[in-house]
Amino acid sequence: MKTLTLTSPLTTGPNAERVQRRLKHNWTKVDYLQGPIDRAFGPQTARACIRAKYWLGYPDNRQDPWAGDELLDNLTKKANLPPAYATRREARLKHATEIRPLRVKALDRAGRDLGMKEKPANSNVCPI
């Protein structure tokens, strides 16, 4: 398959659909595409390629917005990930489980302020 990249007008057809299907349904069970399969290699598909490459363990300088045989082979497990990629993938997955998203941190912080009142009443004097 020829390499697909973001162009104007968008590249459309069976190759774009094939890439989108692999980004949606792959051995990692992660939907990298986060949108419909529309047979057009557009901005969403380009972002999905970057996202997939990150989670497959590609080095930072190889996380590009295009798709070719290497990405498809890695998504279908036709070719095993190189050992460095597999190690990087495991480290990224581990790190993702260890961090707490900002929304969770904000909710925890807001919970500490429940029940806080103005002192004196109706004075508009409150720590938050």
Residue type, 19: V
Which residues is 66 bridged to in the sheet?
Answer: 5
Angle at 74 between CA 10 and CA 49, to 5 degrees: 30
pLDDT of residue 94: 93
pTM, entire model: 0.77
Q: What is the pLDDT along the chain (128 residues), one digit of tens a residue?
A: 889 999 999 999 999 999 999 999 999 999 999 889 999 999 999 999 999 999 999 999 999 999 999 999 999 989 899 999 999 999 999 998 888 889 988 999 888 888 888 888 888 888 77
In this predicted structure, what is the pLDDT of residue 113? 85
